[in-house]
Amino acid sequence: MTQGNGGDVVLVTGGASGLGAAIARGMHERGFRVGIGDLDAAAASALAAELDPSGATAIGIALDVREQASFEAARDALTARWGSVEGLVNNAAATAARPVLDITPDEFDAVMAVNARGTFVGSQVFGRVFKAQGYGRIVNLASLAGQNGGTATGAHYAASKGAILTLTKVFARDLAAFGVTANAIAPGPLDSPMVHRTISEEAMPRFLENIPVRQLGTPAFIADIAARLCARDAGFVTGATWDINGGLFMR
């Protein structure tokens, strides 16, 4: 694993808890300066203070990924603090387990607004910065659900994650000539709060039987891959989807 990366600055969206917090921790451990963006600004700041009480290498940022102005404010906060920003990890996500015929149009729009729109807006705002400076790394958190239609998640979540896979390819193609890469990570079920909210403890043993490797993935490993894709020497991988799903989806 490449360490340090020259203290590159990375924004992790939805970084205050769950998988986002694991990614923020992992990036920080590997020498990145980390902006932790989250709707819960207090939680983001608390995690940043835990990672670095001095604020020299981690800060919390109030971020609503649905809004362009919020991403622009995050961009400005990072450049004001550290002079530049080199990476974006689009992790923020909304989900609900609901049968497709029970999902209302408004609920569908709400999930798409966070997951698909949030990824698009963030990649666009930061993509402009990366293009102008001739370097950047975008990592999008997709999902197995976006590849197989989902089994324990709602259609809105699965559809949004499928959209993220396509957006990753579009940004990768259009920004490749400018030193900017865009890749996706598509995790299967992880040992995370989101999965434990969806799958009850009683149902978990049977759920694990359906995973070829018979275990959940770990958020720390996802963080490893995100950091690897944001590394300076990762310039030859772009437009790719990294499958981390215990064998549930093979290609």
Q: Which residues are catalytic?
A: 157
Residue with tokens 């917090």: 21
Alpha helices by DSSP H, listed for 30-179, are 41-51, 68-82, 105-112, 118-133, 145-148, 155-175
Q: Phi, psi at residue 154, to the nearest 5°?
A: -80, 160
Question: CA-to-CA distance for 177 and 179, rounded, in angstroms?
Answer: 6
Residue with tokens 């790394």: 137
Question: CA-to-CA distance for 65 and 118, rounded, in angstroms?
Answer: 5
Structure tokens at 162: 């499928």
Question: CA-to-CA distance for 19 and 220, rounded, in angstroms?
Answer: 8
Half-sphere exposure (Cβ direction) of 94: Cα atoms closer than 13 Å: 19
Instruction: Give CA angle at 165 (162, 167), nearest 5°.
Output: 110
Checking phi first, is residue 179 left (phi over 0); if not, alpha (psi -120 to 50) or beta? Answer: left
Structure tokens at 126: 């930061």
Dihedral, CA of residue 225, residue 227, residue 231 and residue 235, to nearest 10: 40
